[in-house]
């Protein structure tokens, strides 16, 4: 978020420098003029589009980290982001495979995440029935797995 603000200040100062006699340093140090420049940029569709295009090209990690910070602090944004990810997974098998791979990597690396995943799966009877059917087809005994997993008995 700090990087995004700095980038906006830099762009605002650069644009203001080309359009007026004040130096960029003067504009950045003066809170009143800095606010006006940023507001002008944010309210001007052409400049805002240019700034966002530049950010996507040169600093995608800043945009991504900002989105995640917003999503953590705002339940509506978080819900929309999760719905978007679910829609991408539904429509694109490759995206689904990538997401499942990331989830499995997370479970491999952290036993608490693995337990969380198992708990989530046990709360979904259709998933558990499907997994039991797959294990039965491969000659595995799910009852042994159930006894070793305390999450199952909840």
The pLDDT of residue 52 is: 83
Query: Per-residue pLDDT for 127 more than 50?
Result: yes
- Mutual angle of helices 2-19 and 45-58, in 10-degree steps: 130
The pLDDT of residue 137 is: 62
Average pLDDT score over the chain: 77
The pLDDT of residue 29 is: 77
- Could you tell me where the DSSP H helices lie in 20-154? 24-29, 31-43, 45-58, 60-73, 75-91, 93-109, 111-122, 125-137, 142-148
Minimum mean pLDDT range among 33-37, 88-92, 114-118: 33-37
pLDDT confidence of 153, banded at 50, 70, 90? very low
- Does the reported pTM lie above 0.85? no
What are the domain boundaries of the chain?
Answer: 2-71, 74-109, 111-154
Q: Sign of dihedral through CA atoms 138, 128, 101, 86? A: positive
């Amino acid at each position: 978020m700090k990087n995004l603000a700095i980038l906006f200040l830099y762009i605002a100062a650069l644009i203001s420098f080309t359009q007026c006699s004040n130096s960029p340093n003067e504009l950045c140090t003066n809170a009143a003029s800095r606010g006006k420049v940023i507001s002008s940029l944010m309210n001007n569709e052409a400049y805002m589009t240019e700034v966002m295009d530049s950010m996507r090209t040169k600093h995608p990690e800043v945009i991504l980290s900002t989105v995640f910070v917003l999503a953590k602090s705002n339940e509506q944004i978080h819900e929309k982001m999760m719905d978007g990810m679910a829609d991408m997974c539904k429509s694109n098998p490759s995206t689904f495979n990538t997401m499942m791979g990331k989830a499995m990597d997370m479970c491999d690396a952290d036993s608490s995440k693995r337990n969380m995943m198992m708990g989530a799966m046990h709360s979904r009877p259709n998933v558990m029935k499907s997994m039991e059917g797959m294990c039965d087809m491969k000659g595995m005994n799910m009852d042994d797995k159930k006894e070793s997993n305390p999450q199952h008995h909840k």
